[in-house]
Structure 1
């Protein structure tokens, strides 16, 4: 009986203490800062403790001179990813094509930069090939029969073709096979730099090892004179600028050919001889019989 009484008294005291505790405001007060930081982690025996997370490193923003920027179309968003490390970077990207986040993974900014240089090289070769025969043929340096306007040399079959060693269809497929081989090798070198030195190619493969940068592979085949040894950055910038100019020039050659039916050298000579009669306004007037101006 004494034991039962003692236990009853103890239970009553516990209930009263609980009421006092939960009835006070302290019971509903916000936990302290120390209590909120407490964490309980259960680990298996022998399991190593997880490494602590490092604090994020501060991002150092590279300052660029205003003289290095193309002021039209430059925004703070562009400057977040156009930091001047690419040759010919003037901060101009109005469509956000080089934005690694804005592209959404659909467009690879590295591939775009690489493609611009490659297309610029093709354009420089193309414009030189368009203008040179017309000039040299007119000067009598090469036979007149080979000094053709570029679109009558077979580039546009309906405009005529030169009497080559084979018919145009044969030459077309020969060009397709040769270009396909060259472009596949170039693509492999881009995705797997240095891989072309491992594929046997008549003993020439060592010259295709590259430099690790597919845009500027170097070596005895692609840089036999070892150019840019001391001023590589300057030469890369000049190449990009001249490539962009050549791409615009090639577009102009095509438009002029469609409007006037003449080559670019003939168009320049006509404009110099008659600036007011042979110009852009007069050429637009020939389209549809009326000038939009």
Structure 2
């Protein structure tokens, strides 16, 4: 799916290679699935009385947007934002390293966890004990079905997020 025509699937003439676009769709779909649930969960849990009323807010009143108000966290919103960006930047940098050189995360020392970070050779689906602890997709057919379901659910979640904004 390339609505802007940034890639050239038949040769090196494109700005972005199709493999990177497919990888980006999987990753952004995962973020959208987490965001779609995370945006409505506080409201639902608040209405059920499972979380305190002061945290049962609509999604657009939460986060690090100072005009929306601040809460009693361990730091001010700007510090939290910088801290989140540093953590996400580190994670995204490691993810890009693995995309550029699949399996490389299992070769570098990383807090003694590198053995479980070896991956499957496909950076979008790393596998291993950390990323697939329940062992889904044991054979090729079931893995292909799970990949298709993930992409479809990711697309649906991206549309849900757009719906939240509208």
Structure 2, unaligned runs of 5 or more: none
Q: Partner of 2:29 in structure 1?
A: 120
Q: Partner of 1:244 in structure 2?
A: 155
Conservation of the 8 A alpha-carbon contact between 2:7 and 2:13: no
Conservation of the 8 A alpha-carbon contact between 1:197 and 1:205: yes
SS of equivalent residue, structure 2 residue 165: helix
CA distance in 2: counterparts of 1:105 and 1:142, whole angstroms: 49
Higher relative contact order (CA 8 A, sep 6+): 2
CA distance in 1: counterparts of 2:89 and 2:2, whole angstroms: 31
Q: Partner of 1:168 in structure 2?
A: 77
Q: Partner of 2:67 in structure 1?
A: 158
Conservation of the 8 A alpha-carbon contact between 2:117 and 2:130: yes
Q: Where do 1:1-293 residues align within 5 Å?
A: 96=5, 99-101=8-10, 104-230=13-139, 231-255=142-166
Structure 1, unaligned runs of 5 or more: 1-91, 256-293
> What is the total number of aligned residue pairs between the two structures?
164
Greater Cα shift, 212-221 or 100-109: 100-109
Measure how far apart 1:94 and its partner are.
5.9
Conservation of the 8 A alpha-carbon contact between 1:190 and 1:214: yes
Measure how far apart 1:96 and its partner are.
4.8
Q: CA 1:144 to 1:122, structure 2 compared with 1: closer, same or farther past 3 Å? A: same
What is the TM-score when the length of structure 2 is the normalising length? Answer: 0.91
Conservation of the 8 A alpha-carbon contact between 2:45 and 2:51: yes
Conservation of the 8 A alpha-carbon contact between 2:36 and 2:157: yes
Q: CA 1:185 to 1:150, structure 2 compared with 1: closer, same or farther past 3 Å? A: same
SS of equivalent residue, structure 2 residue 81: helix
Q: CA 1:118 to 1:179, structure 2 compared with 1: closer, same or farther past 3 Å? A: same
